[in-house]
Amino acid sequence: DTEVTQTPKHLVMGMTNKKSLKCEQHMGHRAMYWYKQKAKKPPELMFVYSYEKLSINESVPSRFSPECPNSSLLNLHLHALQPEDSALYLCASSQIRIDYEQFFGPGTRLTVL
Amino acid sequence: KNEVEQSPQNLTAQEGEFITINCSYSVGISALHWLQQHPGGGIVSLFMLSSGKKKHGRLIATINIQEKHSSLHITASHPRDSAVYICAVSNTDKLIFGTGTRLQVFP
């Protein structure tokens, strides 16, 4: 299984809602990543988890809260988002570190009203 | 100046043409990645290379470490190759992305 899955595919939420994005991989990868991608722009790194521990937070606002419950799962909890947070959120994983091949999920398209 | 520059930004081709996309970088790297993204879709890793040349089917990627330059070639292009191609480099603990090359191949 060389797949990274993400749910949901699409999400519409109001600024007062709380929602979560979910990412799963069963390739035994120990590094997992959250990226944010705006239209016609490259992905921007948000968080890196290495061996289930948060290793990088790219100064992401606290309304985004990552969680890695186990080595296969990565969540992104969303609370009090702004319309400018509307974007495609991509999850990725790699064997150990950033210089290993990254496998990307299909993304969650988030719209904040 | 971006640390990873791609050219061209946009590219149109007729089916069957040979296509080259270039990537130059200005930082030290441990690896260079070529990625493909179809409209509205997720990203697929095409190649990861740190030296020389790799080939998968009609795709060829080369890297020249001394010149800090990589190329992605598509032979016998097809409309299904239409996508955004992104060059990214592994630098310390993160990927640095180029701005992408939007390719359209017409039948």
The string of pLDDT tens digits covering residues B17-39 is 999 999 999 999 999 999 999 98
Per-residue pLDDT at A1:
64
| Residue in B with minimal Cα distance to A3 | B44
Give the residue from A37, A102, A103, A111 with the most B CB atoms within 10 Å of its CB, the best one to mutate.
A102
CB-CB neighbors (< 8 A) of B35 in chain A: 104
Give the residue from A98, A100, A109 with the most B CB atoms within 10 Å of its CB, the best one to mutate.
A98
Say if the Cβ atoms of B42 and A45 lie within 8 Å: no
Instruction: Return the SS3 of B26.
Output: coil
Torsion angle, CA of B67/B70/B74/B79, rounded to 10 degrees? Answer: -130
Number of Cβ within 10 Å of residue A104's Cβ equals: 21
Give the separation between CA B15 and CA B2, rounded to whole angstroms: 32
For residue B87, the cross-strand partners are B34
- Close Cβ partners of A64 (under 8 Å, ≥ 6 residues apart): A46, A76, A77, A78, A85
Give the separation between CA B17 and CA B14, rounded to whole angstroms: 6
Question: Mean pLDDT of all residues in chain B?
Answer: 94
State the 10-residue block means of pLDDT for chain A, 113 residues long.
90 93 95 94 94 92 96 96 96 84 94 95
Per-residue pLDDT at A96:
80
